Structure 1
């Protein structure tokens, strides 16, 4: 029996939790074409915390909703050049944080970038999902419990 037969199946979009950042839910596009994962962030500022560089940033976790803002902080892991979907290269801050999807929770590296013009507040790239899930591109929210905000947002799938 192959290992893939034991992997949970996720849809092309899922609700995630980023508990260390105080984000209880964010709709993510599962993007196996992207190597890394990205989170919509703005007002990104670095600061020194006991001799270690950290980053503070704001997140609007829901599409088309700028009223709810989460202010998050994390240790800055790196600054990396990332090629965006439009082909341009951008230097982005990278953090390491925990993501929760369904019953699984694990650490991921996450680039921070302004995704205001994009349809999803977060992309979950293939490094984050490989050997953990199989992706069913024909379905959505296979591992996501429904909440009232999610029910309202599911009609706006993008």
Structure 2
């Protein structure tokens, strides 16, 4: 297993987002991605989820709208203990130079320090968390 710190930087190649801050949270069951303007619309007769990632004040915010027909919906218990209705999407992340498929619930994390949260479903069996450390995968990236 790899050691990961309390925070790290991940890439989301499908969305052309790189070195995005992620909080490593062993207290959270699932993974969360900060999104806004999520809605289901018909595109070519197919239910399609549209959404935007990050906030306009984030340096990597492009204002781009993303679309996927590969989504589901679920009730999730939020950090404050309330049930929230969320959309779930699958995408790939790159961490420690390895590409892995991951499921994110889309939620408003604008009041949080990090736009991404990685929980136990992703960490279990793959990572040991050392809360005294951070950005271990980022530090190991090769210099181009």
TM range (shorter): 0.7 to 0.9
2:62 maps to 69
> Unaligned regions of 5+ residues in structure 1, if any?
1-6, 148-158
What residue is the counterpart of 2:107 in the other structure? 113
The aligned counterpart of 1:43 is 37
Cα distance in 1 between the residues matched to 2:88 and 2:19: 20
CA distance in structure 1 between the aligned counterparts of 2:118 and 2:33, rounded to whole angstroms: 9
CA separation of 1:8/1:67 partners in 2, compared to 1, >3 Å: closer, same or farther? closer
Partner Cα separation in structure 1 for residue 126 and residue 41 of structure 2:
34
SS at match of 1:28: strand
Query: Offset at 1:21?
Result: 2.2
Match of 1:140 in 2: 134
Two-structure CA RMSD over aligned residues (Å): 2.3
Deviations 1:21-42 (A, max 9, x none): 2222310001111111000101
In 2, Cα distance between equivalents of 1:138 and 1:70:
35
Q: Confirm or deny: 8 A CA contact 1:11 1:140 kept in the other structure.
A: yes
Runs of 5+ unmatched residues, structure 2: none
Is residue 84 from structure 1 mapped to residue 78 from structure 2 by the alignment?
yes
Aligned position for 1:13? 7
Deviations 1:79-115 (A, max 9, x none): 1111111111100000011111112211111000111
Could you say if the C-alpha distance between residues 75 and 22 of structure 1 is closer, same or farther in structure 2, counting changes exceeding 3 Å? farther
Residues 73 and 82 of structure 1: is their aligned pair in 2 closer, same or farther, counting only changes over 3 Å?
A: same
User: Secondary structure at the residue paired with 2:138?
Assistant: coil
Structure 1 24/95 Cα, relative in aligned 2: closer, same or farther at 3 Å?
A: same
Q: How many residues align?
A: 140
Q: Deviating runs (4+, > 6 A) in structure 1? A: none
Task: State the TM-score, normalizing by the size of structure 2.
Answer: 0.85
> How far 1:138 sits from its partner (Å)?
1.1
